[in-house]
Structure 1
């Protein structure tokens, strides 16, 4: 049977730079937690599928700043320590509940049963973390990035890149800063994955076309910077393609940190009018217009764009009816005071945390199979309907933050594996990657994209609002100083090059979209402000030493030892 369409998961894998920048509740432990709940379990699932002979394919974006951290010896050493602590905590809970069970009066059968079940769950968690540790040390040889690289080399996944530190590109004031973010990201990718990237996840799916600035200069559209690096495809939010009101993630009714924004703010309307609805569809890829030629230009840039499919996306993203809200799945927000382990299930719609029922892994496993089968049927139904309506071979790109699976939705990694198994056996659906799809089915139409993101309201509000606007002045000032220094030093001494390189790293780190995001969502407001301010202060000290002709080499070396990121950076990328 000839396939009538293709499907790809697009997983965006990212965490802020947190190496040696605190452990708990904010800092490097974010990486350890995600590695234990998402990255290692995902690798286990994909390698299991490979060994079973399942011919799966998907797109995985790993941001350069996260890939650097997952390759760092210190971070990985601390990860093993984190796993050991989790194993010890679960063992302690086993002992606590075993003692409580043996000393509970036989007349209190309910209490005895509860303690027995909690003891079972503690033992279950002990086995879980011991398995993660074994997989990491033995199966993947302490090399998470290497394990992903091998899957790409063998043709199972397509790894795409991102801007170096997830900088919010549309709001950067200079072309040199945008170019520095992208070129540093590409160089990091080449070093870690042994090839150049074919695709990119724009940070926060944030795009802007070319425009004329206040001084009359034409600022190129984002697609121009991608083309310079040979990048052929990127992704945008649904409404950027179809027009109309923002939906899904941009509408704010989602699980995870993006959902916090709608709960904390009344989101203002976009500064530009709502994008009019149009005939474009997320079932197609399009070439992005050459926006340097004007808003109505028919020329295309050579760079393709794919929109997020909302119908499949909301099955996971939706806070109201997505799979993760099923009553039998593990409750994310309630943790045991003894160990921090999560022993409860969702239980019911809007059930208070104090009234949650205990988690039953076997109940959750049954639901995973049901939901994987439902999703697979949905993909087939959507592609079949599109083909019947248009006669065309369609694409569904189902885009998510990778950390939704395993971390926010504990059972999500198992669900991903089952969906891939179902779809790999579907005779009418081709599993693909985004980059393969573009090469095999080049776009036939050119599309003019509006300025947009997948943030609240579909615009820049999440990163530029009353609580974060103060950050952009220092960011823009640092951009200008970095550009001036890069242009000034054509033949630096070894010491000057050391300081210039570290200044470039600090410029990238302070540009991270994570800092305003964490302020807006309220997740880690004080931590984000502290981290942002530290990187600004470090950059200013390094830049001033160069401007005064007294490069502070000692401080640059000290900061390099602390950060250990982007070792092959070239400060000239910022000129």
Structure 2
């Protein structure tokens, strides 16, 4: 039987953008929110994604993905405490999988997925997967995530997107701290990867008019916005206002095919159910089965059934991309650019089969005549249209700022403003006091920690978690904890109690010691 002829190429280019971000979780609780969130995402999403990208790179495939890595995530993937904690978590995962293989019976309120024969088969697969992860942590990840990412950057497998320290909602941030956070974030990436990103994933895709000037001054040439920011016309990047900084927009028609607030591939009946746990082992041995099926009636997970469904969804996505490129190119009268953008954690953590889908789709698209490239490729190859004036916007609900500035989180806006004002004033005073005439200003670890805690206070995660009612109590606790740390150190310093301020700064640094190269002397004056 002869092979099917390859489909004819379609005009234009497709770009997959992944945004990798979690807040700083180390030393701040374990369960139900805290380090467990980091380790689950690491095991289910980051390990498989790295595996996929390294596999494709070994095949000589390049320019595959535009990968956003926030400084907060890379700090945790490199942190010795987190690396040890992750290895312990994976070992515990393997022990729990071993326990699943010994299941003798299930109770009446457990579903078919908990039947002994189903759990034994599931436990064997999980045990093997955990063993693979343990070996990867011991061998490939032993020095952290940065060496692995640098290999992919150097091989041009990925384009790296950076971002500001702590992932703040930039439009609401004091301009001095906004500039500092961005420049330090780019410097952090350079320190880890020997590569300074030219593109960034603006936290929450948030934009306010004029921010492009700060981007240009920091050396940023392109950034991501959501489709509605470009009024849905995302087929070309657009220089913003009078600058040369290009805004690339997410194509919602294509992106929502995979995942949207209401639908997408991960909800298919064959895929592993995210919400159904086996309460003895903590594993997830059920498949979705049906959107309205209660947990106790869920069927056992079937890996072969899921794999077959992945193939169907790969074929569907390839068709969607081909049709979208053809239609947009016809509309423009020139080759178009289509961008699908997602949170990295969707692939593996939320959608167990996501990494498998990624690997297959990144092979299937070129085979189907679709050129795959990065945002940098798009800018270099002229997938750029006329300048545009962008409105205040984000990728949150309503595509405006309401998730981070609405009535439900108005107290965060006030808290952030007050804490940042205190931090900036205190740091300015400390650096002025330490400056000697005609001599360099020495580094001040107290001032550094004040800025570090202020940046953790203004993380965009905390108001998001409250607005979306996902661990809202934890989010409020974290925001006020870092606000307290900022004020406590600053008050001691302002009162002339330098030794106490140093003790406090050192104490808080034991929990919040990320961004070790952060230097308050670089704060814009």
Does the 8 Å contact 1:319/1:325 carry over to 2? no
Deviations 1:111-151 (A, max 9, x none): 89932122101111111111122223224445322211210
Please name the residue that 1:231 is paired with: 220
Choose from 437, 447, 464 the match for 1:500.
447
Please name the residue that 1:203 is paired with: 203
Please name the residue that 2:3 is paired with: none
For residue 548 of structure 1, report the CA deviation from its aligned partner: 2.1
TM-score in terms of structure 1 length: 0.84
Does the 8 Å contact 1:40/1:144 carry over to 2? no
Please name the residue that 2:339 is paired with: 397
Which segments of 5 or more consecutive residues in structure 2 lack a partner in the other structure?
1-7, 436-440
For residue 242 of structure 1, report the CA deviation from its aligned partner: 1.5
Deviations 1:321-366 (A, max 9, x none): 4111111001110100101101111111322222211110110011
Paired residue secondary structure (2:405): coil
For residue 491 of structure 1, report the CA deviation from its aligned partner: 6.0
Q: Partners in 1 of 2:345 and 2:274 — Cα distance?
A: 13
Please name the residue that 2:391 is paired with: 450
Please name the residue that 1:125 is paired with: 126
Matches within 5 A, 1:329-348: 329-348=271-290
Please name the residue that 1:148 is paired with: 149
Does the 8 Å contact 1:56/1:421 carry over to 2? no
Q: Partners in 1 of 2:310 and 2:244 — Cα distance?
A: 40
Q: Partners in 2 of 1:512 and 1:113 — Cα distance?
A: 40
Q: Partners in 1 of 2:345 and 2:84 — Cα distance?
A: 21
- Label 1:53 to 1:40 Cα distance change in 2 as closer, same or farther (>3 A): same
Deviates more, 1:80-89 or 1:539-548: 539-548
Please name the residue that 1:115 is paired with: 116
For residue 425 of structure 1, report the CA deviation from its aligned partner: 2.6
Does the 8 Å contact 1:188/1:566 carry over to 2? yes
- Label 1:112 to 1:302 Cα distance change in 2 as closer, same or farther (>3 A): closer
TM-score in terms of structure 2 length: 0.92
Matches within 5 A, 1:555-574: 555-572=504-521, 573-574=523-524
Does the 8 Å contact 2:328/2:336 carry over to 1? yes
Please name the residue that 1:258 is paired with: none
Please name the residue that 1:250 is paired with: none
Aligned residues: 506
For residue 237 of structure 1, report the CA deviation from its aligned partner: 1.0
Deviations 1:503-556 (A, max 9, x none): 010111101011111122222111111111111111001112222232211111
Paired residue secondary structure (1:407): coil
Q: Partners in 2 of 1:201 and 1:113 — Cα distance?
A: 42
Q: Partners in 2 of 1:516 and 1:16 — Cα distance?
A: 12
For residue 391 of structure 1, report the CA deviation from its aligned partner: 2.6
Deviations 1:480-519 (A, max 9, x none): 2233234332362799811101101011110101111112
Q: Are 2:470 and 1:519 aligned?
A: no
- Label 1:502 to 1:350 Cα distance change in 2 as closer, same or farther (>3 A): same
Q: Partners in 1 of 2:446 and 2:371 — Cα distance?
A: 50
Q: Partners in 2 of 1:550 and 1:440 — Cα distance?
A: 58
Q: Are 2:382 and 1:430 aligned?
A: no
Which segments of 5 or more consecutive residues in structure 1 lack a partner in the other structure?
105-109, 210-220, 244-280, 290-299
Deviations 1:454-482 (A, max 9, x none): 11111111112333211222211122223
Choose from 305, 308, 330 the match for 1:388.
330
- Label 1:514 to 1:557 Cα distance change in 2 as closer, same or farther (>3 A): same
- Label 1:553 to 1:140 Cα distance change in 2 as closer, same or farther (>3 A): closer
Superposition RMSD in Å: 2.1
Choose from 29, 32, 48 the match for 1:41.
48
Q: Partners in 2 of 1:335 and 1:319 — Cα distance?
A: 23
For residue 574 of structure 1, report the CA deviation from its aligned partner: 4.8
Q: Partners in 1 of 2:289 and 2:54 — Cα distance?
A: 32
Please name the residue that 1:183 is paired with: 183
- Label 1:321 to 1:559 Cα distance change in 2 as closer, same or farther (>3 A): closer
Q: Partners in 2 of 1:2 and 1:128 — Cα distance?
A: 38
